[in-house]
Amino acid sequence: MALIAGLVLAFGITLADWGIRESYFHNMISSDSYSLSFSALLIACTGVSLLLSPMYYNRLNLPYMDIAAMKLFALAGGICIVSFVNLGLLFIGIELLSISSFVLAGSDKRNLLSNEASLKYFITGSVFSSFLLFGIALVYAVTGSFDVTVIGAFYSQAGGNINNLFYVGMLMIIIALGFKVAAAPFHFWAPDVYDGSPAMVTLFLSTMGKIAAFGAFLRLFNQAFLPVPYHIGILTCIMAVATMFIGNLSALWQDSYKRMLAYSAVAQTGYLLLVIPASGSMSADVLFYNGITYIAASVIAFSVLLLLNQYTESESRSQLIGLAKQNPFLAFAVTVAMLSLAGIPPTAGFFGKYYLFTLAAGAGYTPAVVFAVISSLISIFFYFDIIIKMYTGEAQEQLKMVIPPAYSFSIFVSLIVLILLGVFPGILTGLLQ
Partner 1 sequence: MNLTFAQIALAALPFLPLAGFAVNGLWGRRFKETTIGIVGCGSILLSFLLSVFLFMANLSGSFATVQVRLFDWIPVANGSIGFSLMADPLSLIMLLVITGVGLLIHLYSVGYMHGDAGFARFFAYLNLFIFFMLLLVLADNFLLLFAGWEGVGLCSFLLIGFWFTNESYNAAAKKAFVMNRIGDLGFLLGMFLIVFTYGSLNFDQVFTAAATAGGANNATIIAITLLLFWGACGKSAQIPLYTWLPDAMAGPTPVSALIHAATMVTAGIYLVARCHVLFSLAPFTLSVVLAVGVATALLAATIALFQTDIKKVLAYSTVSQLGYMFAALGTGAYVAGLFHVVTHAFFKALLFLGAGAVIHALHHEQDLRNMGGLRTELPFVYRIFLVGTLAISGIPVFSGFFSKDEILMNVFQHHTVAWGLLFIGALLTTFYMFRLLALAFWGEKRGHHANYVPMNTTMKLPLAVLAFLSFAGGFAGLPEFTGLNWLHHYLSPVFSDVTLHNEPHLSIGVELGLMAFTVLAIAGVIWFYASRFKHLQTRELNQLNGELPWYKKLPANKYYVDEWYNRLLVQPINRLSDFLYRVADTLIIDGLVNRIGGMVLSAGNRARKLQSGDIGIYLYVMLAGASGLFLLYVLLGS
Partner 2 sequence: MIVTILIVLPLLFGLAAIFSNGRSVRNAALAVSLAEFCLALYAAYSFVPQAGMQQVLNLPWIPALGIHYHVGVDGIGLLLILLTALLMPFILYSTPDDIPKPGAYYGLMLVMQAALIGVFSALDGFLFYVFWEMALIPIWFLCLLWGRGNTVAVTLKFFIYTLFGSLLMLVALIYLYLQTPQPHSFSLEVLYAVSNLDANVQGWLFWAFFLAFAIKIPIFPFHSWQPDTYVTAPTQGTMLLSGIMLKMGIYGAMRWLIPVLPMGVHNWMPVAVALSVAGAVYASVIALQQNDLKRMLAYSSMAHVGIIGAGLFSLTANGLTGVVFQMLAHGINTVALFYVADIIERRNNTRNLNLLGGIALADPRFSVLVFVCVLGAVAFPLTNGFIGEFYLLYGLFEYNLPMCIAGGLTVILGAAYMLQFFQKTMFGNAISTPHKPVYAGKSELYVLVPLTAIILLTGIYPKPLLNLAAPAIEQLLQLAQF
Q: For residues 32 and 432, is the Cβ–Cβ distance under 8 A?
A: no
Q: In the complex, what is the shortest distance from the CB of residue 37 to partner 1, in angstroms, rounded to a whole number? A: 31
Which residues from 162-181 bind partner 1, rule CB under 8 A?
A: 167-168, 171, 174-175, 179
Q: Is 270 in the site for partner 2 (CB under 8 A)?
A: no
Q: Which of 73, 345, 395, 406 binds partner 2 (CB under 8 A)?
A: 345
Q: For residues 233 and 363, is the Cβ–Cβ distance under 8 A?
A: yes
Q: For residues 294 and 212, is the Cβ–Cβ distance under 8 A?
A: no
Neighbours of 279 (CB within 10 A): 26
Task: State the binding string over 210-249 for partner 1 (x if CB under 8 A, else -).
Answer: ---------------------xx-xx--xx-----xx-xx
Q: Which residues contact 77 (CB under 8 A, 6 or more apart)?
A: 92, 93, 94, 95, 96, 97, 98, 100, 212
Q: Is 37 in the site for partner 2 (CB under 8 A)?
A: no
CA–CA separation, 15 vs 363, rounded Å? 32
Nearest to 251 by CA among 343, 381, 344, 121: 381
Q: Is 388 in the site for partner 1 (CB under 8 A)?
A: no
Q: Is 105 in the site for partner 1 (CB under 8 A)?
A: no
Q: Is 15 in the site for partner 2 (CB under 8 A)?
A: no
Q: For residues 174 and 273, is the Cβ–Cβ distance under 8 A?
A: no
Q: Which of 6, 358, 403, 409 binds partner 2 (CB under 8 A)?
A: 358
How is 68-101 classified by DSSP, letter by letter?
A: HHHHHHHHHHHHHHHHBSBHHHHHHHHHHHHHHH
Q: Is 73 in the site for partner 2 (CB under 8 A)?
A: no
With CB cut-offs between 5 and 8 Å by kind, which of partner 1, partner 2, none does residue 250 bind?
Answer: partner 1
Helix-strand-coil split of the chain, %, nearest 5: 75, 5, 20
Nearer to partner 1, 55 or 142 (CB): 142
Q: How many residues does the chain have?
A: 433
Nearer to partner 1, 171 or 428 (CB): 171
Site residues for partner 1 per CB under 8 A: 119-120, 123-124, 127-128, 131, 167-168, 171, 174-175, 179, 184-186, 188-189, 191-192, 231-232, 234-235, 238-239, 245-246, 248-254, 378, 381
Site residues for partner 2 per CB under 8 A: 339, 344-346, 350, 354, 357-358, 361-362, 366, 369-370, 373-374, 376-377, 380-381, 384-385, 388, 391-392, 424-426, 429-430
